[in-house]
Amino acid sequence: MSLSIALLTISDTRTLAEDCSGDALQQRLETDGHQLVQRSLVPDNRYQIRAVMSSWIADEAVQVVISSGGTGLTGRDGTPEAISPLLDKTIEGFGELFRVLSFETIGTSSLQSRCLAGVANGTLIFVLPGSLDAVTTAWDRLIAAQLDLNTRPCNLVQLLPRLLEH
């Protein structure tokens, strides 16, 4: 099943032309048969992040949003704080598993990752660190399988029609 995915890069230093992490995500999602519906870059500003994310969450044509960048601990890193209030539910296991997988390559530095995932208005949201290693680890080892209807015993795609149930 092909999903409509939007990509958001959060960076004060990169442009879209220099966004190798965003390029890697775009290549992977398209290789896996999904459609990139929008791609944007905003600075580390929680209100600009929320504005773009909110518009995509409200857009019925967007099923999945993946952001990269702004998840560290510095004063400018505010992506989790920008996106968390928009989530209806969080997927706690995503951050936990991501840090376990990251530990394999970056050791205890993985504890600094504040990545997260959740659901907002029926849209799946993934918030990733901005490094190339982080986005490839997240896509290759977690996200791709959960966006594949064939993953058993369960996957996030099969839940999409039910995410707005009351």
The pTM for the full model equals 0.96
114, 121, 115: which is closest to 55 by C-alpha?
Answer: 121
- The predicted-structure confidence for 13-52, as pLDDT tens digits, reads as follows 888 999 999 999 999 999 999 999 999 999 999 999 999 9
Is residue 82 domain-resident? yes
Alpha-carbon distance of 154 to 62, in angstroms, equals: 22
Is residue 164 domain-resident? no
By residue range, what is the domain housing residue 70?
4-159
Query: Any idea what the CATH number is for the domain that residue 8 is in?
Result: 3.40.980.10
Total domains present in the chain: 1
Length of the chain: 166
Is residue 140 domain-resident? yes
Q: Judge whether 63 and 4 are in contact, CB under 8 Å.
A: yes
- The predicted-structure confidence for 77-113, as pLDDT tens digits, reads as follows 899 999 999 999 999 999 999 999 999 999 898 888 8
